Amino acid sequence: MLSTLMGRNQYLLRIPTFREGISLLAGRPLRWVPQLLGFILVIWYFGPIIRGGPPDDFIYELPPPIHHPHLPPLYKPPTASANDWKLRSHQVREAFIHSYKGYRDHAFPADELAPMSGKIHNNFNGWGVTVYDALDTMWIMGLSEYFDEAVKFIGEADYTTKPKQYAPFFETIIRHLGGLLSAYALSKDPILLQQADKMGAMLLPAFNTDSGLPAYAISTRTNATRGGWTGNTLWAEALSNQLEYKYLAHITGKPEYFEKAERCMQLMYEANVTDGIFPTQWNTKTGAPSNNKFSVGAFADSAHEYLLKQWLMTSRSETKIKDLYLNVSKSIIENLLYVTPSREMLYVTDADMLKPHPRKSEELPSTIKSGSTPTPSSVPSGTFEHLSCFLPGLLALGAQTLDLPASEKEIHAWAAEGLAYTCWLTYADTKTGLGPDVVSMKMFTKNEDGLWLPRVEKWKQQGRSGRPPGLREPGAATGKASRDYTIYKRSYLLRPEALESFYIMWRTTGDPVWRERGWTIFQAIEKYAKTEIGYASLVDVDKSSEKAPVKDEMPSYFLAETLKYLYLLFTDEELIPLDKWVLNTEAHPIPIFEWTDTEKKLFNIS
C-alpha cells in the first residue's frame, strides 16, 4: 500500500536529511512539492492507526437503519420551504420561552404553574418538576442562560421527602431522573450526574418488595413504600425504569442499579405469559399477572416502549428483550387493532382477554368456564385513548430498526401509518383542531368483523388493489354524525403523543405531510391554549366559541415532550439522531451505548 502510494520516489520513504533537503530546495524546488503533499496525506491518513485506538470522541456506530417501503400519502399538502420551517421551529422556541418564563416568574420552585391564575401546583413532591422536565429542551433549543440557572438550582436539591410524604416512583423516574440523565448526556455537566446518582439511590428501595416489582411510591426519608389504589404494580410501572437505571449503571458503574431494574425484566421472561399478552396489572408480592386486561393505554403504555428502546439503547445486544417486543407487538396487532364501520379508521383499543393464562380457573371469566366454544377470544372496549397515540411512533421505529421479514415489516409500517392518521383525524375532526383525551369508537355488530389484520389478509389475497384497509385516509368529518366515534373525555391536556408519532413518522418515512399536520396542531395550540403567562389545558376540544374554556393547568410534560417534539419536527437538521439516542417515555433523550466487557462481568449480563 505504502509503496504504491509513494510511487517511484522511493527515497521519500526515509525522511531526507537537512542537507539533502537544502540541496533539493536549492536544486529543483518544485519537483518534490507533490511528493511532500503525498507524504503529509499519508501521515494524516495512517496517523490514527499508528497512534492506536479510536479517537477520544468516538461514538458507537450502529448498523444503518433498514429502509422499507412506505406508501405515498393520498393527500399531499403544499410543502413549506426550508425557510418556513426555520421560522416555524423558531415559533416553537418562542412558545417554550413563553411557558418557561411564566413558570419561572410565577411558580418557581414549585412543581407546576397554574397558567390562568398564576398560582402553583405541587403535585410531584414539590421538587420543581417543571425545571427537571424542561432542562434538556432548554439545551436542545440553545437556551443556555435558563439551563445554567436551572443546573444551579438542581445542584442544591436534597430529595428527602417531607414526613408522611411519598414520591410516586414511576413519575419521579421518568420525569426527574430521566430529565437529569438526559441533560447530563447532552451537557456532560458533572453536577447533573452527581444528582442523578443521588436521586437514583434514594428511589432504589422502591424495589424492595417481595417480588422485586417497584412499589407505587416511596418515602425517601424512611424508605417506607406505599401501594397504589389497585394494590398491584401496573405493567407500565414495572417496565418504565430500565432505560434510566441501566444508563445510570453504565455511567456510575454501580451494579445495584442494573440488578434492580433487570429483576423486573427477569420476572417478565419467567412469567409464562401466553401469546405475548402481558396484562396491565401484576401482583407486587408474587410478581405474577393479576388481571386479564390487555392494553396499550394508560396502565401499560410505556412498558411497550421500554421493550424496544432497551434493546436499542444497549446497541441491540440484549436479544431477549427484542424477542419480547416482537411477541407483544404481534399480539397487539392481532388482538387490539380494529377499524370502524363507516370511515374505516384504524385504532388500537384495550380488551378483556378470555384465553386463559396459567392461573386458577375460578378467576377466569364465566364465558370461559361455562361455554364450550372459547370464541371470541377477547372482548374489546372500543375505547381509543390519546395516550395510545405513542404506538404508531413505536411501531414505525420498530419497522425501521428490526430485521423483520418483508411481510411483517410492512404490517408494522402500515399499522403505524394508519394509527398515526387516526390520531390526526381526532384532531382534524374537532372545532378547535385539538384532539380529545379519549374517544369511544363505533363498533361492528359482531366485534370480530372489525379486526384489522384479517381485513389486510383478505385485501392481499384479492390482489392488493388500492391502499390497504385502514390506510385510505377518509379526510376530516363534516359533522358529529359522520365521525364514527363519540367523544368520551372532551379535554385536551396539552399531551404530546400524537406529535411524538408524527415526528417519528416523518423521520422514518421522510414524508413531510407529518410536519404539516404538526404545524396545524401547533397553530391550534397557539390559538386556544395560550394564556398571558403560559399554556393551559382545554376543557372541551369541541366547543364552538372562538375561545374554548381552559383548565388552570400546565403539565410539565408540555415543556419536556410536546414542545420538544414540535421543535424537532420543524427543525431540518436531526438534532437528536435516532440511531444515536432513544427518547424515554417523557421524551428525555438517552444515548445509545455498548456494555463493556467489565460491565458484562460486573452486572452479570449474558
Ligand X SMILES: *[C@@H]1O[C@H](CO)[C@@H](O)[C@H](O)[C@H]1NC(C)=O
Task: For ligand X, give the closer residue by CB, 122 or 160.
Answer: 160
Beta bridge partners of 591: 581
C-beta of residue 214 within 8 angstroms of C-beta of residue 169: yes
Q: In this structure, how many other beta carbons lie within 10 angstroms of the beta carbon of residue 369?
A: 11
Q: In this structure, how many other beta carbons lie within 10 angstroms of the beta carbon of residue 14?
A: 8
Task: For ligand X, give the closer residue by CB, 205 or 393.
Answer: 205
Q: Look at residues 345, 327, 374, 337 and name the one whose alpha carbon lies nearest to residue 457.
A: 337
Task: For ligand X, give the closer residue by CB, 286 or 482.
Answer: 286
Dihedral, 594, 596, 599, 601 alpha carbons, nearest 10: 120
Closest distance of CB 223 from ligand X, Å: 4
Cα 143 from Cα 101, distance rounded (Å): 12
Closest distance of CB 169 from ligand X, Å: 14
Cα 506 from Cα 509, distance rounded (Å): 5
Task: For ligand X, give the closer residue by CB, 200 or 496.
Answer: 200
Residue written as grid cell 405474577 = 288
Closest distance of CB 271 from ligand X, Å: 6
Cα 72 from Cα 527, distance rounded (Å): 31
Q: Look at residues 321, 305, 391 and name the one whose alpha carbon lies nearest to residue 350.
A: 391
Q: In this structure, how many other beta carbons lie within 10 angstroms of the beta carbon of residue 226?
A: 14
Closest distance of CB 213 from ligand X, Å: 13
Closest distance of CB 162 from ligand X, Å: 14
- The site for ligand X (CB under 6 A) is made up of 204-205, 222-223, 270-272
Closest distance of CB 212 from ligand X, Å: 13
- 252 has binding-site annotation: no
DSSP characters for 435-477?
A: --SEEEE---SSGGGGBHHHHHHHHHHTT--SSPTT-S-----
C-beta of residue 188 within 8 angstroms of C-beta of residue 144: no
C-beta of residue 346 within 8 angstroms of C-beta of residue 419: yes
CA 240 to centroid of chain Cα atoms:
11
Q: Report the chain's terminal Cα–Cα distance, integer Å.
A: 41
Amino acid at 514: W
Q: In this structure, how many other beta carbons lie within 10 angstroms of the beta carbon of residue 203?
A: 23
Task: For ligand X, give the closer residue by CB, 283 or 447.
Answer: 283
C-beta of residue 244 within 8 angstroms of C-beta of residue 203: no
Closest distance of CB 221 from ligand X, Å: 7
C-beta of residue 167 within 8 angstroms of C-beta of residue 217: yes
Task: For ligand X, give the closer residue by CB, 290 or 531.
Answer: 290
Task: For ligand X, give the closer residue by CB, 187 or 195.
Answer: 195
Closest distance of CB 268 from ligand X, Å: 10
C-beta of residue 467 within 8 angstroms of C-beta of residue 578: no
What separation in angstroms does the CA of 539 have from each of 91, 495, 557? Answer: 25, 13, 18
- Give 330: exposed, middle or buried? Use CB within 10 Å, 0-12, 13-18, 19+: middle
Task: For ligand X, give the closer residue by CB, 159 or 595.
Answer: 159
Task: For ligand X, give the closer residue by CB, 174 or 204.
Answer: 204
Q: Look at residues 322, 301, 328, 320 and name the one whose alpha carbon lies nearest to residue 237.
A: 301
Cα 412 from Cα 418, distance rounded (Å): 10
Closest distance of CB 214 from ligand X, Å: 13
Residue written as grid cell 391554549 = 529
Task: For ligand X, give the closer residue by CB, 20 or 270.
Answer: 270
Angle at 176 between CA 172 and CA 178, to 5 degrees: 100
What separation in angstroms does the CA of 157 have from each of 129, 241, 453, 511? Answer: 12, 21, 51, 44
Cα 263 from Cα 320, distance rounded (Å): 14
Task: For ligand X, give the closer residue by CB, 288 or 602.
Answer: 288
Closest distance of CB 283 from ligand X, Å: 11
DSSP state of 7: T
Task: For ligand X, give the closer residue by CB, 144 or 272.
Answer: 272
Closest distance of CB 357 from ligand X, Å: 10
Cα 280 from Cα 272, distance rounded (Å): 15
Closest distance of CB 208 from ligand X, Å: 8
Residues making up the annotated binding site for Ca(2+) are: 585
Residues making up the annotated binding site are: 585
